[in-house]
Amino acid sequence: MPQYLALIYTAYVDWWAPEQAAELAEYRQFAVDNADSIRASAVLHPTSTATVVRVEGTRGGHVVTTDGPYAETKEALTGYYLIEAADLEEAVAITAGLPAAWNGAVEVRPVIAVK
């Protein structure tokens, strides 16, 4: 069955903050409701904890790290679900249940099947 990565884009959010508890509970409920379709998932710490890694020149070059996100945007990647669905319509129907779908956006990307 085809797999889709549902990338969650929302405004800056610290999922550990107590005021996020209610929304986080909605995500947990989503995971319970769609347990049969979800193959993997992750909730990410806020973008302020991110580190961008670059290697100068080519492989083996000097490793340069930068604090913070790659680019400042209104909406950032804050989590993902790996979903299995019969087709894009089913994948869209499932991801429409994610709170990010009305609080931000969910990008649904088909995963290349590795034989």
Q: Per the structure block, which two tokens stand in for 21?
A: 């508890």
**5-13, 19-27, 65-73, 84-92 -> range binding another protein (CB under 8 A):** 84-92
The edge-to-edge listing of strands for the beta sheet with 3-10 is: 38-43, 76-84, 3-10, 105-110
Q: Which residues contact 63 (CB under 8 A, 6 or more apart)?
A: 53, 54, 55, 56
Q: Work out whether 87 is an interface residue with another protein (CB under 8 A).
A: yes
**43-51, 55-63, 75-83, 85-93 -> range binding another protein (CB under 8 A):** 85-93
Q: Work out whether 89 is an interface residue with another protein (CB under 8 A).
A: yes
* Residues near another protein, by CB under 8 A: 2, 4, 86-89, 92, 108, 110, 112
